Amino acid sequence: MIESLRTIDAQIQNWLAQHAEALTETLAALVRIPSLVGQEGPAQAFMRERYEEAGLEVTVFEADRAALADHPAFVDSGIGFAGRPNVIGVWRGGGGGRSLILNGHTDVVSPEPVSEWRYPPFGAQVVPSGRHGRMYGRGTQDMKAGLIANLFAVRALQACGIRLKGDLILQSVIEEEAGGGGGTLACFAQGYRADGFIATEPHWRDVCIAHPGVFYFRIVVPGRSAHAGRAHEGVNAAFEAVPILLMLQAWDRERAERVHFEAFERLDPAVRRSCHLNVGVVRAGDWPSTVPGQATIEGRLSFVPGERAAEVKRELEARLHAVAEQSSWLRDHPPQVTYFGWHTEPWVQDDAHPFVQSFLACLDMLEVVHPKPVLAGTTAGLDTRFASLFGVPALAWGPKGAGLHGVDEYVELDSVLDCARVLAVFAAHWCGVCS
């Protein structure tokens, strides 16, 4: 089998080398479409055209909020699904093999502050680096490069006359950055299943098999409004919020020392950080001469496998109550905490599963990553978590770059070609090849 895969690999490498420019042009065209969360329609239309050009069986569907709303893993982004479809492209196998989903999302986060970018965030500027250059732009690394690698893996197999036994399913989905409820979860709920699932997220040094649980919280701190000239008649909610902020900061540091999950710390063991509590929004008042009558604190808290969201929420509420008891005002006017937006329990893929081990063996054989990638977890959330809910083994691995969610995001084009190569060869191994 290894020798036959090496023969397939040689064919795939040759085709990709001849079509490197086409891959770069396709990725650039996609990056130039500003597909922020909620605005994915044009990018999804682009992917539909690419799947149709590849001769895939294409299905386009918009998520049904009513059908998804009661699913425990559904995250409601609050954005309507009209004009934001998911796009599925299926390359039917000859029969008798295992199936594989290659998944990616077109949505990107805001590029602001744009003034800090060296290159236009939607310009897809290519600068010299390696053999084929480095492409800058929002979404290059996270994760339009992965989407295009998926596409070119299929195109390479087709062009080389390599027919798979099992189905190869490409998914271009929406709103991964907002929780994936109307994207990957909707695809699984729609019936798209396979014997393996790969999200080609930007994990180059690691094959990602775990991520923490996450939830967003909102704490509303009451005060009493008054004119600043008679501030003593009011209660400043901003000042009342300060002890709560300090409590959250201290709790974050405490959890960082106490709570660990080894897989999350393999890539950077010196840091030893498995979970985070981030305060992302603090608001109080709307006028300098008015005592603010309310303050709002919004944050994200992550927790490791072995912890449960309900338990961590109870601890948050208990700590909040303890702070309120120290304030003569908050004791009688307690702050309220609610939960919204992004939420998930931890996800862990059994790394002994044949799907994971087969993928690792393929990476080892092809030797595209140096040093060898390790099995690890990430402290961010991924759509891979949905696969386990439907009995599908999953992992994340994809092109190399930097700057995701920051300024000057880029992807190394050499790694996009190598990613397409690995995916094509692995698909041949996992799905089987018709004789």
pLDDT of residue 193: 96
Average of per-residue pLDDT across 157-181? 97
The amino acid sitting at 116 is E
Please check the confidence at residue 3 and state whether its pLDDT lies above 80. no
The amino acid sitting at 82 is A
Cβ contacts of 324 within 8 Å, gap of 6 or more: 330, 331, 334, 335
User: Residue 223 — pLDDT band, cuts 50, 70, 90?
Assistant: very high
Mean pLDDT score of the chain: 97
CATH superfamily of this structure's domain 2-211+346-431: Zn peptidases (3.40.630.10)
- Whole-model pTM: value is 0.94
How far apart, in whole angstroms, are the C-alpha atoms of residue 336 and residue 70? 25
The amino acid sitting at 159 is A
How far apart, in whole angstroms, are the C-alpha atoms of residue 349 and residue 85? 28
Rounded to a whole number, what is the distance in angstroms from the first to the last CA of the chain? 13
Supply φ then ψ for residue 209, to 5 degrees. -130, 15
**Torsion angle of C-alpha atoms 198, 202, 203, 207, degrees rounded to 10:** 0
pLDDT digits (tens, 9 = 90+) for 37-78: 999 999 999 999 999 999 999 999 999 999 999 999 999 999
Supply φ then ψ for residue 264, to 5 degrees. -75, -10
Q: Tell me if 2-211+346-431 shares its fold with 213-344.
A: no
User: Residue 141 — pLDDT band, cuts 50, 70, 90?
Assistant: very high
DSSP letter string, 124-182: -EEE--TTT-EEESTTIIIIIHHHHHHHHHHHHHHHTT--BSS-EEEEEES-GGGTSTT
- Cβ neighbours around 249 below 10 Å, total: 12
Print burial letters for 350-371: b (CB count within 10 Å at least 16), e (below 16).
eeeeebbebbbebbebbebbee
- Cβ neighbours around 348 below 10 Å, total: 17
Supply φ then ψ for residue 335, to 5 degrees. -65, 150
pLDDT digits (tens, 9 = 90+) for 247-281: 999 999 999 999 999 999 998 888 899 999 999 99
Dihedral of alpha carbons 337, 343, 349, 350, sign: positive
Least confident of 23-27, 194-198, 224-228, 372-376: 372-376
Average of per-residue pLDDT across 139-153? 98
Q: CA-based angle 154:157:162, to the nearest 5?
A: 140
Whose structure tokens read 């196998």? 93
pLDDT of residue 266: 93
Least confident of 138-142, 246-250, 271-275, 318-322: 271-275
| Contact in structure between 141 and 74 (CB atoms under 8 Å) | no
Q: 213-344 belongs to which CATH class?
A: alpha beta
Please check the confidence at residue 4 and state whether its pLDDT lies above 90. no
Please check the confidence at residue 435 and state whether its pLDDT lies above 90. no
Please check the confidence at residue 191 and state whether its pLDDT lies above 80. yes
pLDDT of residue 1: 62
Percent of the chain with pLDDT strictly greater than 70 = 99
Sequence spans of domains, the chain: 2-211+346-431, 213-344
pLDDT of residue 270: 86
Average of per-residue pLDDT across 160-177? 98
How far apart, in whole angstroms, are the C-alpha atoms of residue 234 and residue 128? 61
Whose structure tokens read 């978590």? 385
The amino acid sitting at 3 is E
pLDDT of residue 269: 85
